[in-house]
Amino acid sequence: MTSKNADLLIENAKILAEKDGAFSMVDAAVAIGGGRILEVGKSQEVGGAYTPLKTWNAKGKLLLPGFINTHCHLFQVFMRGLGKDLPFMDWMNGSVRLLMPMLDDEAVYLAVMVGCMEALRTGTTTLVDFMYANVKPKLSDAVLRAFDDCGIRGVLARGLTDVDRFPGSPTPPSSGAPVAQSLEDVERMRSLYQGNPRISFMLAPSVIWAMTREGLAEASRYALANDMVVTMHLLETSDDDAFSQEKYGMRTTRALEEIGVLETNFLAVHTVRLEKEDFDLFEQYGTRISHNPVANMILGSGAAPISKLTRLGIPISLGTDGAASNDSQNLIEVMKSAALLQKVRYRDTAALSAKEVFSMATDQGAVAIEMGDQIGEISPGKRADIVVVDLEKPNTTPCYDPISSLVYSGSEQNISSVFVEGALVIEDRAFTRVDEKDILRRAQSKAQALYQAAKAE
Ligand SMILES: [Zn+2]
């Protein structure tokens, strides 16, 4: 038998095996070539079939698909911890609105680097950055540079805001611009990163009250013509429906349908305040959801009816949301919180299981962002985004079911190594392409300087 070529062979590993709804771990090896998984199977069979350029010994640890965070605002890493435990408007004025106008290229780059490092350390290999802080020209470029430098798979969801004023605000939004102008920026960035397999784009109209009807329609047309996802905050609070009733004479989801935004490429973020009509429209249009339970709890927004949406077959993914309202980028914590919050909401221990939230963080997350054919599973043909999980730690011993252990007891200490696109970005808990100490030191001093300057204004 002739041996096949591979760039890398991960040997002496374990993968999940499922039987009667419970998971166990079985021996495996994974062959990788061109950033993709070529084959997964028993060590002897896969090992014998390939001549790899390199081998990597997983030392008996568990390989899982990298987690997918479908909603965050990484620039907010610089607002972490500000305005906590204050009423909503005081939190907003003391955190996001305080620092956002001061952001520059260096601040955004460092915030995104720190956020991505935290995400990678906790097993996230793909994240969607809903970048609405476009307070200066080309600020989104700093996000892309950081994605590229740290090695994560990044989706830049370019924020759009085109109203003259937010409701009740006397001043124009600091990040506002006509949609046509923002789309030119998107075009420019897409051509810059064309051919980079780790970088892709979405459109992110902020929220119904930050957009004109024409702007929303234009964004949706562009996204459909260019095969892009449109993602938007939806029904996080009752403000959306109050605004839509006044402006459009109907509820928000119905207004989005009428404007033409509620298409099959729509990723709705939050969906806390749902009524029967919303469930029907989501089902009808195949809407996907990004559920952000930690942020919803921190801001007291409520518990989205995720368990009910799941039973209707609506794809649910998970997001951390920005560090101003989370205050971490840790998807393991989000998985646990998602399961617990549904149990509380429905007073039912079976409302949402570890297995279901793990699926939301992996394969369903991929479907939600239209990357289901590329990521979310360890299977041949998929991109080699793999986390190496070490469950031989005090917090996960004994381990009867690896997914229950990870979701309910897991933490950063269980994420040992991380591959993105077949490349090691963390090995034995150390970054391979980032000088961690240097980035953290620069981020601390830059954030401190911005904060002092904002306070002095
Ligand atoms: Zn958000």
DSSP code per residue over 250-317: S-HHHHHHHHT--STTEEEEE--S--HHHHHHHHHHT-EEEE-HHHHHHTT-----HHHHHHTT--EE
423-454: per-residue pLDDT in tens?
A: 999 999 999 999 999 999 999 999 999 999 99
- Quote the ligand 1 centre to 233 CA distance (angstroms): 6
Q: What percent of the chain shows pLDDT beyond 90?
A: 90
Number of domains in the chain: 2
Output the CA 34–ligand 1 centroid distance in Å. 34
Domain coverage including residue 58? 4-65+378-431
Query: Do 108 and 155 belong together in one domain?
Result: yes
Q: What is the pLDDT of residue 419?
A: 98
Same domain, 110 and 31: no
What pLDDT score was predicted for residue 190?
A: 98
What pLDDT band is residue 253 in, cutting at 50, 70 and 90? very high
Assigned domain for 448 exists: no
Tokens of 307: 């368990």
Q: Is 454 part of any domain?
A: no
Distance, CA 374 to ligand 1 centroid (Å)? 25
Q: Is the same domain home to 170 and 37?
A: no
Angle formed at CA 316 by CA 315 and CA 320, multiple of 5 degrees: 155
Indicate if 209 and 341 belong to the same structural domain: yes
- How close is the Cα of 286 to the center of ligand 1, in Å? 21
Q: Are residues 58 and 95 in the same domain?
A: no
Q: Which H or E element spans position 342? A: helix 331-346
Instruction: Please indicate, yes or no, if residue 194 is contained in any of the structural domains.
Output: yes
Rounded average pLDDT over 374-392: 98
Whether 238 and 244 have beta carbons less than 8 Å apart is answered as: no
For residue 286, give the CATH number of its domain. Answer: 3.20.20.140
Nearest to 153 by CA among 196, 122, 195: 196
pLDDT of 14-71, one tens digit each?
999 988 888 999 999 999 999 999 999 999 999 999 999 999 999 999 999 999 999 9
Distance 285 CA to ligand 1 centre (A): 22
- Asked whether residue 128 falls in the same domain as residue 29, the answer is no
Q: Residue 325 C-alpha to ligand 1 middle, in angstroms?
A: 8
pLDDT for residue 91 is more than 90: no
| DSSP bridge pairs for 154 | 127, 199
Give the pLDDT score at 172: 84
Residue 436 lies in a domain: no
Tokens of 308: 């009910």
Q: Does residue 336 sit within a domain?
A: yes
Does any domain span residue 437?
Answer: no
Does the residue 19 lie in any domain? yes
- Cα 200 to middle of ligand 1, angstroms: 19
Q: For position 457, what pLDDT does the model report?
A: 81
Kindly give the distance from the C-alpha atom of residue 253 to the centroid of ligand 1, in angstroms, as a whole number.
Answer: 17
Residue 349 and residue 315 in one domain: yes
Classify residue 97 as exposed, middle or buried by CB count within 10 Å of its CB (0-12, 13-18, 19+).
middle
Q: Domain ends where: 346, 368, 390?
A: 368
User: Do 275 and 166 fall within a single domain?
Assistant: yes
Distance 422 CA to ligand 1 centre (A): 30
Question: 255 C-alpha vs ligand 1 centroid, how far in Å?
Answer: 20
Give residue 292 CA to ligand 1 midpoint distance, Å: 8
What is the largest distance, in Å, between two alpha-carbon atoms of the chain? 75
Domain co-membership, 255 together with 266: yes
Using DSSP bridges, classify how beta strands 62-65 and 67-72 pair: parallel, antiparallel or unpaired: unpaired
Dihedral of CA atoms 424, 428, 429, 432 in degrees, nearest 10, equals: -40
Domain shared by 20 and 77, yes or no:
no
Amino acid at residue number 319: G
pLDDT band for position 90 (cuts 50, 70, 90): confident
Q: How close is the Cα of 294 to the center of ligand 1, in Å?
A: 12
Whether the Cβ atoms of residue 202 and residue 155 lie closer than 8 Å to each other: yes
Cα of 198 from ligand 1 centre, angstroms: 22
Q: Does residue 338 share a domain with residue 233?
A: yes
Task: Classify the C-alpha dihedral 239-242-244-247 as positive or negative.
Answer: negative
pLDDT in tens, 314-334: 999 999 999 998 999 999 999
- Residue 2: pLDDT over 80: no
Distance from residue 223's CA to the centre of ligand 1 (Å): 20
Task: Report the separation in Å between the CA atom of 321 and the middle of ligand 1, taken as the mean of its atom positions.
Answer: 5
Tell me if 170 is assigned to some domain: yes
Arithmetic mean of pLDDT over the chain: 96
Task: Provide the pLDDT confidence category of residue 175 given band limits of 50, 70 and 90.
Answer: confident
Q: What was the pLDDT predicted at 315? A: 95
Question: Which H or E element spans position 231?
Answer: strand 230-234
Q: Provide the percentage of residues in the chain whose pLDDT is more than 70.
A: 100
Calculate how far, in angstroms, residue 71's C-alpha sits from the geometric centre of ligand 1.
6
Q: How far is the CA of 235 from the centre of ligand 1 (A)?
A: 12
Q: Does 42 lie in the same domain as 87?
A: no
Residue 415's domain is classified under what CATH number? 2.30.40.10
